Chain A
Amino acid sequence: MNRRLLIALFLLAAAPLSLWYALSQGSVNIGAAELWRALLGHRDDATAYLVIHELRLPRALSAFAVGGMLALSGALLQVLLRNPLADPYVLGVSGGAAVAVLLSMLAGLGAGWLHVNAFAGALLSMFIVFGLSRAGAAWTQNRLLLTGVVVAAGWGAVISLILTVTPASRIHGMLFWLIGDLSTATQPAAGMIILLTGLAAAWWLARPLNLLMRGENIAAALGENPARLRSVVYLLASLLTATAVTLAGSIGFVGLVIPHILRLAGGSDHRFLLPASVLLGGGFLTVADTLARSWAAPAQLPVGVLTALLGVPVFLFLLVRAR
């Protein structure tokens, strides 16, 4: 109990620190005092105000929202499928979004269209998988997993096909989108609202999810309705993933590993795990994105590369230490 409280306090402190770090880094040098004044709305330093409010703050908040959504979605899908290898993309949501985005890029549509189409593609994939896995025989988590993995493989093939027929000059933008990139994420409000709503809904289901972890039979015997529970969890996780992918492409690793790091550190009680995943996932992606845009500046790296480069050693270290 105390251990969890300690982790929660640490995460509550670390989340604003990660945002502060994101705001302080960049090509224009802004000191701590100026940053604070600009953040509070003082316009005496016009450059600092513009840089903070127009560039860094929207991007930092977007990164936090996307990281939080991915980690929350990953935690939900892992318990839904009772499979530790599940991540937000395992059921093909991101594949559908990717195909829609690459087709839009190929057609030369503007950035606004990319977001709309990405979301539409993600929703399409989500309904295909859910519809197919419910048709015919009885629902099992393995059936859903298999349906999702096969649909995702289908999207993968279409993505490869699009990449091979695309002129070389346009490939770069497509690759960035596929690896995950936050440079076009300038409207954090929608992401933040969906993240907070999603977290509230997920937290409401936290104790039933603890039962689901022991098995669907047990959840039913203890008074829950597993069929309704898994539908709600599936829709919630898919919507979170769809929103994250729409904002930033398919950033890997965050959704798979953040929940596991927290399970290793503080156990599997979802009342702890779900909010902690949002805080750690959000903070982690904010820091990774800041490094991605400042490390090799003026060049920007795709943040998906950074998340894996930072996260893999940390996770392996924790895994080895946990026996």
Chain B
Amino acid sequence: MLRTEQLTLHIAGRTLCDRLDAGFNAGENWVILGANGSGKTTLLHALAGLRQPDHGRVMLDHVPLRDMPSRRRARRLGVLFQDFESAFPATVMETVLTGRHPRLQRWQWESTEDYSAAEAALEAVGLAGFAQRPLATLSGGERRRVEIAALLAQDAPLCLLDEPTNHLDLHHQVRILEWLATRAARPGHMNIFVLHDINLAARFGTHGILLFDHGECLHGPMPDVLTRPNLERLYHCRLREIHADGARWYLPD
């Protein structure tokens, strides 16, 4: 579905990834891992077509992302950002409905179909019944789930999520990642996550991209890339690997 060709990204004279060739296919859950400032968000934005690469290109459905009309791109690919703004009052429903924008014509108003998509999205993130609440009355975690619901209402087959578990309690972290991972199993769907939690990455990711310093970049199926030596090099700290319940768990030593 999504492919990078010789993708090279620089920021402030530093190379974040150097000539990356990677293919992202339907049914897969990719996780981008790396230390703070390693360029996870920049890479995600480049994959979303929101940042022009310094070299190489990103292809979506065999079309260069740069040449794709932005509305068409937005119907194929949705993005969850790390931070959000709220200078003016809005209700939960109004915010979630903005996700329907790429599917509406210029003068068209939201139909009952759009409202049911928004309600289903709120249900999926555990916010059924919150539709008419002003955003200002929500907690940080609830606010985060509204952003995720807006992304789900967009109904794009390809979702790029920048730290979706920020502000979420344990229950919702697992519940929402599980929901998204199941969604990727539907035909033609896939996700790319930026995550900080190695254990969530191991549990829900099928593939991983590890961003090391100096533009070195390792990608492949999760069991191949998510190893203790790789992770210790990635985060510059010693890790303990624990085997339990048939899975590997990592804890800082």
Taking CB atoms, residues of chain A closer than 8 Å to B98 are 210-211, 214, 218, 222
Taking CB atoms, residues of chain B closer than 8 Å to A210 are 94, 98, 101
Chain B 72-97 near chain A by CB (<8 Å), digits 1 or 0: 11110011010011011111001100
User: Measured between C-beta atoms, what is the minimum distance from B97 to chain A in Å?
Assistant: 9
User: Measured between C-beta atoms, what is the minimum distance from A13 to chain B in Å?
Assistant: 23
Q: Does A79 contact B (CB under 8 A)?
A: yes
Q: Does B48 contact A (CB under 8 A)?
A: yes
Taking CB atoms, residues of chain A closer than 8 Å to B95 are 214
The residue from A82, A221, A225, A267 contacting B89, defined by CB atoms under 8 A apart = A267
User: Measured between C-beta atoms, what is the minimum distance from A157 to chain B in Å?
Assistant: 30
Interface hub of A208, A222, A264 (most chain B Cβ within 10 A): A222
Q: Does A34 contact B (CB under 8 A)?
A: no
Chain A interface mostly: helix
With CB as the reference atom, state the residue of chain B lying closest to A78: B88
Please report which residues of chain B, range 60-118, place their CB below 8 angstroms from some CB of chain A when the two chains form the complex. 70-75, 78-79, 81, 84-85, 87-91, 94-95, 98-99, 101-102, 104, 106, 109
Complex alpha-carbon distance, A214 and B102, angstroms: 15
Taking CB atoms, residues of chain A closer than 8 Å to B90 are 213, 267-268
Interface size on B, residues (CB 8 A): 28
Q: Does B154 contact A (CB under 8 A)?
A: yes
Is the pair A268, B73 in contact by a Cβ cutoff of 8 Å? no
Interface hub of A214, A220, A225, A263 (most chain B Cβ within 10 A): A214
Q: Does B50 contact A (CB under 8 A)?
A: yes
The residue from A211, A220, A268 contacting B88, defined by CB atoms under 8 A apart = A268
Interface hub of B72, B74, B88 (most chain A Cβ within 10 A): B88
Is the pair A221, B50 in contact by a Cβ cutoff of 8 Å? yes
What are 9 contact pairs spanning A and B, CB under 8 A? A207-B104, A214-B84, A215-B81, A222-B74, A223-B70, A223-B73, A264-B89, A267-B90, A271-B109
Write the residues of chain B forming the contact surface with A, with a CB cutoff of 8 angstroms: 48, 50, 70-75, 78-79, 81, 84-85, 87-91, 94-95, 98-99, 101-102, 104, 106, 109, 154
